[in-house]
């Protein structure tokens, strides 16, 4: 009897491949028999989000752009598990699929890059900051309404090359991805959450499987990080309560202190001029209800058209 290899579905960007390789390495460490030649296969899929480079994700329709093709591969058996950056994963998954495992979360903060050195506060008036993400755009303009925003898409290497070419004066990237790619030496400054609150689940890698695939779930079980699961559960419950997408600047970060959880969240207008904030402290066992409650509080304060207002 022949068995097919365990197939890991991933996007093809350098960062996505680094995350797939980390997943493979952790699987082999937990199950040495998977080190045998041909036991694990990494299968690359091109997603809608990878094909769209001429406009922002918000303009292209928001979330799900980096997961749809991977989920189709799970459904039809071309992949047994799919590796995602959790900040790209919609809060509603297709019926029959689930996030079975979260790997230990990397540093969730944002990194700042400037051609002149110094931090965000040191940029001259009118400087151009390259970012396509509405969350980063809104928080940059909250702090520095005098700056200009240029929509910068593409992978980490593409964005840094545009900074080097002088197309923008500064840009921001997730610190987690830079650490996974070994590119931290390029960072000008790391932005603390008080300055730039991260995206929901930033720095977390999630592994999605078919809900009826007990064999793959069992292989993944030793890889799951309970602390990451608690933190991401709180943040994603908040996002679900807000019904947020890439078209809305939403930021949140949950941190653990012993059995306690501290959740901070904010929703901003696209130009950073209107801000709704909240925070929750409670037991980590109540992560989902804390997140849901915080999201409901902010949603109750939002104007009716807040989520559909066009970006400026």
Residue owning tokens 């022949």: 2
Three-class DSSP category at 278: strand
* Known active-site residue 88: yes
- Name the more confident of 54 and 99: 99
Q: Kindly tell me the number of DSSP H helices and DSSP E strands found in the chain.
A: 10, 13
Mean pLDDT of the chain: 91
**CATH architecture of the region 1-103+204-224:** 3-Layer(aba) Sandwich (3.40)
Instruction: Provide the pLDDT for residue 155.
Output: 79
Instruction: Give the model confidence (pLDDT) of 191-213 as tens digits.
Output: 999 999 999 999 999 999 999 99
Distance CA 163, CA 114 (A): 8
One fold for 1-103+204-224 and 225-302: no
pLDDT score of 59 more than 70: no
Three-class DSSP category at 29: helix
Distance CA 208, CA 217 (A): 9
For the structural domain made of 110-191, what CATH number should be given? Answer: 3.40.190.10
231, 287 in Cβ contact below 8 A? yes
Q: Which fold has domain 225-302?
A: Double Stranded RNA Binding Domain (3.30.160)
pLDDT score of 312 more than 50: no
Instruction: Provide the pLDDT for residue 311.
Output: 45
Instruction: Give the model confidence (pLDDT) of 273-289 as tens digits.
Output: 999 999 999 999 999 99
SS3 content of the chain, % helix, strand, coil (to 5): 40, 25, 40
Residue among 25, 80, 88, 164 flagged as catalytic: 88
Instruction: Give the model confidence (pLDDT) of 119-168 as tens digits.
Output: 999 999 999 999 988 999 999 999 999 999 999 878 788 899 999 999 99
HEC letters along 164-214: HCCCCCEEEEEHHHHHHHCCHHHCCEEECCCCCCCCCCCCCEEEEEECCCH
280, 255 in Cβ contact below 8 A? no
Closest of 244, 254, 257 to residue 287, by C-alpha: 254
Distance CA 241, CA 223 (A): 28
Tell me the pLDDT band of 232, cut-offs 50, 70 and 90: very high
pTM of the model: 0.92
81, 216 in Cβ contact below 8 A? yes
Instruction: Provide the pLDDT for residue 51.
Output: 74
The ranges assigned to domains in the chain are: 1-103+204-224, 110-191, 225-302
Instruction: Provide the pLDDT for residue 2.
Output: 43
Quote the tokens at residue 163: 């900074």
């Amino acid at each position: 009897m022949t068995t097919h290899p365990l197939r890991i579905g991933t996007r093809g960007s350098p960062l996505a491949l680094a995350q797939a390789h980390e997943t493979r390495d952790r699987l082999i460490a937990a199950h040495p028999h998977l080190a045998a030649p041909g036991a694990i296969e990494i299968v690359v899929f091109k997603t809608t989000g990878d094909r769209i480079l001429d406009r922002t994700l918000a303009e292209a329709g928001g979330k799900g752009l980096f997961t749809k093709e991977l989920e189709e591969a799970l459904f039809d058996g071309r992949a047994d598990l799919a590796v995602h950056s959790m900040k790209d994963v919609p809060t509603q998954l297709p019926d029959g699929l689930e996030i079975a495992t979260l790997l230990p979360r990397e540093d969730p903060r944002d990194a700042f890059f400037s051609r002149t050195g110094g931090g965000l506060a040191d940029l001259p008036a009118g400087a151009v900051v390259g970012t396509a993400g509405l969350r980063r755009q809104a928080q940059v303009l909250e702090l520095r309404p005098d700056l200009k925003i240029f929509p910068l898409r593409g992978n980490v290497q593409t964005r840094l090359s545009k900074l080097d070419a002088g197309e923008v004066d500064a840009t921001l990237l997730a610190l987690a991805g830079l650490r996974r790619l070994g590119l931290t030496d390029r960072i000008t400054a790391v932005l603390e959450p008080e300055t730039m609150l991260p995206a929901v689940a930033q720095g977390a890698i999630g592994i999605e499987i078919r809900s009826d695939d007990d064999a793959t779930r069992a292989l993944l079980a030793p890889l799951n990080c309970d602390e990451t699961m608690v933190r991401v559960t709180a943040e994603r419950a908040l996002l679900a309560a807000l019904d947020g997408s890439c078209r809305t600047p939403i930021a949140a970060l949950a941190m653990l202190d012993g059995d306690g959880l501290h959740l901070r969240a904010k929703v901003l207008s696209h130009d950073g001029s209107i801000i709704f904030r909240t925070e929750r402290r409670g037991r980590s066992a109540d992560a989902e209800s804390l997140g849901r409650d915080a999201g409901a509080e902010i949603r109750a304060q939002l104007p009716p058209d807040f989520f559909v207002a066009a970006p400026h």
